[in-house]
Amino acid sequence: MKMIRMKQCSVSVFIGLLMVLGAVTVHAADKIVHDAEYYVLEAQNGEKWAKEDKVLEQKLADLKKKFGTPPNIIHIMWDDTAFGDVGIPAIQKVRGLDTPHLNTMAEEGILFTRMYTEVGCTPSRAAAATGRLAIRNGMYNIGMLREMHGMRDEEVTIAEVLSNAGYATAFHGKWHLGDIEESYPHNQGFDEAFFTGYNQILSLWTRTGEIGNATMGLYEDILPEDPYKLDDTFVTKGWVQIAEGKKGEKTRQWGDNSHENYMKIDPEAQRRTLEFIERNAKAGKPFYIANWPMLNSFLPLPEKCSTSRSNLQQGLECNIDPFVGKLLAKLKELGIAENTLVIAMADNGPMAHNPPPGGGFAETIFRGGKGDFLEGGVRVPAQAWWPGVIEPGQIAGDIIHEVDLFTTFARLAGATQYIPTDRIVDGIDQTSLLLNGDTHSRRDHVFIYAGPRLGATVKGNFKRHWISPDPVGEASGIPAAFFFLPPDPREKSPMLANLIHLKSPFNRMRLRHELWKKKYPDSRDKKGIPWTGIENATPEVEALSRPYVDKNKLPFDPLEYIEHLDELPFDPNMDPDIGQ
């Protein structure tokens, strides 16, 4: 055990930290490294947790003996849904949808009221896959067409951890963690993958979308010729809508880039998931599946099945909910329901800002949506189902974050020894919350990033906005940027005098968080040529790896800009207008 050296830290801050922590020590090399705040909690609750862990270990051992394998794990995560749109029928009545299978799942398990995520789909998926906040690996930029970025090979995914423990692993659906070869899910630990590199806007990047003006200027061949056009390299001409591959094997594009093909993605992903379950259940092999559906098209569809008629509600009621019903029935049919944990949740809040027409996205209890550090952007519907293990009918008020799923899944699988110990893993083991229920979380805090900037910190029922609604007060050091969430879930009433006593505690939290980063620095995402390694690549996709013009005719390297993409997305001095 050795004392952390806090370089460039004032003596007063150092003494203050010691007063809070008693002594900050680094765990042995074989221990998971968590964020600093976890150790403050462990120092106060460690003995109680250790006693709980002995009981939990025995229970997990008994389950393994009974079923012959550690539990199967299924993680279903869809997009952009406000808290209450799933699992709370009263809100669904207002919102014009019904999800009977998902609601039954919540009734038969745990409905989480404080499941936090990252603010957008790419950072959220990176967090779930690695157990690390997206700021840790630079995956906070929402990937769009020809983004030329992705998750680095050095990141360790839950698929890699569980594969090392003998699990079969599969990814089916919306990956959205990069369009470079290194980031493909079957190159990130999954045995098999059926995946998209981008999000639902793929439904608009189609000839159908161009014809309907939902996308403008992407398909130049069906538009009138522009007599003033000089540059034929500006608009992207090649990409992959959906790809498939197996670990160690070639990657292939599945279908084409049409809207018709897009609408086949979720049905095919669901078919593959059910087949994967049956195949491994019959082989007696534990499995992990991430089925992260596309949910729906951004183009309005002619057939309406929900009262709201909107894309979100249509996707939940007519796509995801029937699939969940089939999945739970399949688990029961195969006799493995009592040895399978199913988590179903959204990846972030609703697309409340600039949604596509007919999207149906709206705030419910909380203010804010996708992209916001407000509760509405990061507090999502989520539930856990595990018959015979999770006590039914629970509503948990504990704080849990999606990064916790990584460490919890590893604990359930007996695979924590495969979690890397050379970096911060934000995920906290929440096995006690799942098995013991409400009030057994080991987390009471959340750091919420807006891109690369720390937007807010939650501690219990209190919240501090760092991107402040009171810039004048912030400049003087006494901002009205503190919130008490139970009576103010929409964060409309910032407090100063009532909560100014929390200024120093929140400052201590932030300093601990940032000082720990000095020992374990954040890394960056990887930049590169998109969609390489596609065995059946179209000529347009193959052309992405070549300069579009003759290099000898340019006084610079036309691909040099790739190494400078980090300089574009965010200006740390800009006013982001987030949370206003």
pLDDT mean over 334-349: 98
Question: What pLDDT is attached to residue 551?
Answer: 83
Indicate the residue type of 565: L
Give the pLDDT confidence of 206-218 residue by residue, as tens digits: 999 999 999 999 9
Judge whether residue 20 has pLDDT over 60: no
Residue 408 has pLDDT above 60, yes or no: yes
The pLDDT, as a whole number, for residue 302 is: 80
pLDDT band at residue 556 using 50, 70 and 90 as cut-offs: confident
Per DSSP bridges, beta strands 149-150 and 192-196 are unpaired
pLDDT higher than 90, residue 293: yes
pLDDT at residue 570 in the model: 54
Q: How high is the pLDDT of residue 205?
A: 96
pLDDT at 18: 43
- Is the pLDDT at 1 greater than 80? The verdict is no
Task: Assign 561 a pLDDT band (cuts: 50, 70, 90).
Answer: confident
Provide the CB-side half-sphere exposure for 518 (13 A, CA). 11
Task: Tell me the one-letter amino acid at 30.
Answer: D
| Model confidence pLDDT, tens digit, residues 516-554 | 999 999 999 999 999 999 999 999 999 998 887 888 888
pLDDT at 17: 44
The torsion angle over the Cα atoms of residues 290, 291, 297 and 301, rounded to 10 degrees, is -170
DSSP H helices in 318-368: 321-333
580 pLDDT above the threshold of 50 = no
Q: Check pLDDT > 70 for residue 379.
A: yes
Rounded to an integer, the average pLDDT of 280-298 is 97
Mean pLDDT of 184-197: 98
> What pLDDT score was predicted for residue 2?
32
Residue 23 confidence (pLDDT) above 60: no
Share of the chain above pLDDT 90, in %: 82
The two beta strands, 340-346 and 192-196, are unpaired
Can you give the pLDDT at residue 550? 84
Pairwise CA distance, residues 530 & 180, whole Å? 5
Mean pLDDT of the chain: 92
Report how far residue 50's alpha carbon sits from residue 48's, in angstroms, rounded to the nearest whole number: 5
Place of tokens 């949910």: 295
Per the model's pLDDT, the better-predicted residue between 13 and 347 turns out to be 347
Helix (H) or strand (E) holding 192: strand 192-196
Binning pLDDT at 50, 70 and 90, where does residue 15 land? Answer: very low
Contacts of 415 (CB under 8 A, 6+ apart): 161, 162, 164, 165, 167
pLDDT category, 569, cuts 50, 70, 90? low
List, for residues 449-503, the tens digit of each pLDDT value. Answer: 999 999 999 999 999 999 988 888 888 888 889 999 999 999 999 999 999 999 9
For residue 426, what are the contacts with CB-CB under 8 A and spacing of at least 6?
Answer: 34, 35, 127, 131, 132, 133, 136, 401, 403
Per-residue pLDDT band at 6 (split at 50, 70, 90): very low
